[in-house]
Structure 1
Amino acid sequence: MGTRKFLVLLDDSRECLNAMRFAAMRAANTGGAVVILSVIPAEDIQHGFGVADVMRAEAQERIEAHFEVFAKWMRAKPKVEPELVIREGDPAEELISQISDDPQIGVVVLGLNSDKSAANPVLTRLMREAGTLACPITIVPGEMSKERLEAIT
C-alpha cells in the first residue's frame, strides 16, 4: 500500500493551523506523509481574455507562499516533507475527488472552529458523504493547545 497519507485542507482559517499540526505530528509518529490540498474557488477565476490565467497564477502564488510557511515548520519540527496539491472548484467537491484520486490517503484531517454559528460547508458536505468515503475523517478542535495535540498524536 505504501505510505499512508494524511490529507489536510489549506485555507485561511485559524483552525487550519491545528489540523496541520495534528496531521504533521501523526505522520511523523507513524511514518506517514502529509498532503496539503488547497482549492481555488471557481468563482475567483473570471474568464475571458487571458484574465483567468493571470488570476489562476496569482492564486497559485498566494497558495504556494502560504504552503511554504507550514512546510518550513513541518520540515523542521516533525520532520515531514508535505506535498502540495492545488485544485480548482468547490473545496468540498475537490477534497472528495482528491480522496478518490489518491488511494494512499488514509485519513482526512479537518480543523473545527469553536464558533458554533460559523458554518463549515466542507465539513457539512463530508459528513453527508462520510459513509461512502474511502477513509476516516479526523476533526481537530481549533482551540486545542499545542501541548494537548502533542500529547495525543
Structure 2
Amino acid sequence: MTKQPFGAMTCTAMALRPLYGQKTTWIGSLMRKFLVLLDDSHECLNAMRFAAMRAANGGGGVVIMSVIPTADIQHGFGVADVMRAEAHERIEAHFEVFAKWMRSRPRVEPELIIREGDPAEEVIAQIAEDPEIGVVVLGLNSDKSSQNPVLNRLLRDAAALACPITIVPGDIPKERLEAIT
C-alpha cells in the first residue's frame, strides 16, 4: 500500500492502514481502547458512561486520563512535590469512583494515566504513544456559553489525529446512552 495523506485516503484504505507505522498483518488483534479525559465536569460523567458501555458491548478497554496543568504545580521544589502528590491522590480517588462502576460491567477494567502539562497536548501525545487507542471520548457541556479548550484544540487538529473523536452531550439521559451503545 502506498502512503497517502489521510485526507486523500478512502475509508477502506484508512481502515486497512497499519497503525502508527506498525507492520501489522492482523489489525483485529489490537485491542481497541476508549480514551476519556477525567475532570470535575458533569459532562465527564456521560463520557465515562459511554466509553464503559461501548467497551463492554464491543470488547475493548477504557483508558481514563487526567492531566495536571503545569501551572498548578510550578512553585518551589518542596511545595511542587506536595502539590503534585495531593493532585495524584485527588485524581486517584476520583478515578476509583468511576472505576468501581466500570468494573461492575462485564469485561471492563479501566486503566488510569496521569500526566502533567497542557491537557490537549497530553491527549495527543497519549494517542501517539498508545496505538491501541481507537477512540477519544469527550463530554460536551450543553451550555453554549461554556468553552471546552481541550475539545476545541482536538477538533482543530482532528485531521492529524490517528483516531476518531466521539463527543457525548453532557445532558443526554443514561437510558439514551444505553440505547446507542
TM category (shorter chain) comes to: over 0.9
1:140 matched to 2:175? The reply is no
Are residues 21 and 78 of structure 1, via their aligned partners in 2, closer, same or farther at CA, if it must alter by over 3 Å? farther
Tell whether the 8 Å contact from 2:36 to 2:137 is kept in structure 1 after alignment.
yes
Residue segments in structure 1 that go unaligned for 5+ positions in a row? none
Q: Aligned partners of 1:49 and 1:37: how far apart in 2?
A: 25
- The one of 16, 28, 33 aligned to 1:5: 33
Q: Structure 1: which amino acid aligns with 2:155? A: M
Q: What residue is the counterpart of 2:151 in the other structure?
A: 123
TM-score normalised over the length of structure 1: 0.97
Contact 2:33–2:133 under 8 Å retained in 1: yes
Deviation digits for residues 67-104 of structure 1 (CA, Å, limit 9, x no counterpart): 00000000013541100000001111111111111110
Letter in 2 for 1:93: E
Instruction: Name stretches of at least 5 consecutive residues in structure 2 with no aligned partner.
Output: 1-28
Contact 2:138 2:165 in 1 (8 A): yes
The alpha-carbon deviation at position 2 of structure 1 amounts to 2.1
Pair 1:91 & 2:150 matched: no
Structure 2 equivalent of residue 50 of structure 1: 78
Are the equivalent residues in 2 in contact too, given 1:7–1:108 (CA < 8 A)?
A: yes
Asked whether the 8 Å contact 1:92–1:126 carries over to 2, the reply is yes
User: What is the aligned residue count?
Assistant: 153
Match of 1:16 in 2: 44
- 80, 84, 87: which one pairs with 1:59? 87
d(CA) in 2 for partners of 1:78, 1:123: 29
Amino acid at match of 1:3: M
Q: With structure 2 as the length reference, what TM-score do the two structures score?
A: 0.82
Q: 8 Å contact 1:5–1:106 — kept in the other structure? A: yes
1:2-43 deviation per Cα after TM superposition (whole angstroms, max 9, x unaligned) = 211000000000000000000000000111000000000111
Instruction: Please name the residue that 2:135 is paired with.
Output: 107
Is 2:48 aligned against 1:25? Answer: no
Two-structure CA RMSD over aligned residues (Å)? 0.9
C-alpha separation in 2, matches of 1:50 and 1:20: 34
Cα distance in structure 2, aligned partners of 1:36 and 1:45: 21
Q: Percent same amino acid among aligned pairs?
A: 81
